[in-house]
Amino acid sequence: MTDSATAHPATAPDTRADTADGDAPPGGNGLLWVLVAVAVVFAVLRPRAPLDYVKLVDWQTVGALAGLLAITQGVEKSGMLQATAQRLLARVTSLRALALLLVGAAAVLSALVTNDVSLFLLVPLTRVLATQADLPLARLVVLQALAVNAGSALTPIGNPQNLYLWHRSGDSFLGFMGMMAPTVAIMLFWLFVAVWVLVPRTAIALRPATAAPAVQPRMLGLAGVLFVAFVVALERHWLLAGLGLVFGAFLL
C-alpha cells in the first residue's frame, strides 16, 4: 500500500487540456464562401441595379466599426498587452480568479468598444497570458466570447446590432442603456455562475519569465483620447468627422 501511494501521487487537474495547440483544426473561410454563394443565388433570382446593392449596406454602422477597430490597433501598438499580462500574473495566483477577472473585463469593455473589438483586444492578451503561464486557453476564450455578447448588449455602441437599432430609434444613449440593463444583468449572473463551475480554483503555474517590451504611453494616451472623441462624434452623428480625426491622428 505504501509503495502504491508513493508511485502514484495526486496531481492537480490539467488545465492545458483545452489550450489551442498545434493539434487544433486549422481555420478556414468556409462560412464566407457559403455566404458569397447564397448572395450570388439571390442576385440571380432577384437582380437589382448595382446602386441598390450599395444602399443595402448600413454605412453608418460600418464606419463606426472601422473607427473603433483603428483605435484598437493603437492600443495594441502601444505594447500594453505584454506588460499587462505580466502584472496580472504577478497579482492573481488563482486560475478561477483570473478567469473571473478576464470575463468581467470582457463584459465591461464590450459595452464600450463593441463585442468584436473587445475580443480583438482581450484574446491577444489572453494568448500572451498563456505564453507566460499554463492556462486553459480555449476555455477562457469561449467564456470571453460569451461575456462580450452579454456585456455588449448594454450600450448602443456595444455591438453592430445595437448601433443599427440606436440610429433608427432616435433614443438617447442613457435611455437605451436603461432599457437593456435588466436583461444584461440576468445574462451576466448566469455567465459568472458558469465560470465558477467550469474553472477550477487551482494555482496558476507560471512559465520562465521574459522581459516585457517597453510601453509607449503616447500611443496609448492618443488611443484613449481618440476613443472619447469618436464616441462623442457618433452621439452627434458626425461619423465622417470622427473617422477623419481617428485616421488622421494615426497617420500623423
Q: What is the pLDDT along the chain (252 residues), one digit of tens a residue?
A: 444 444 434 444 444 445 444 334 444 577 778 888 888 888 888 888 878 778 878 888 889 888 888 887 887 788 887 788 888 888 898 999 999 999 999 999 899 877 877 887 788 888 888 888 888 888 999 999 999 999 999 988 888 788 888 878 777 888 888 888 999 999 999 999 999 999 999 988 887 766 666 788 898 899 889 988 998 898 888 999 999 999 999 888
Q: N- to C-terminal Cα distance for the chain?
A: 73
In a 3-state reduction of DSSP, which class is residue 11?
A: coil
Q: Which residues pair with 206 in a beta bridge?
A: 133
State the CB neighbour count (10 A cutoff) for residue 85: 21
State which H helix or E strand residue 134 sits in. strand 133-134
Q: Which residue has the cell 516585457?
A: 212
Who's near 132: CB < 8 A, 6+ residues apart?
85, 86, 89, 206, 207, 209, 210
Is 47 in a helix, a strand, or coil? coil
What is the model's pTM?
0.59
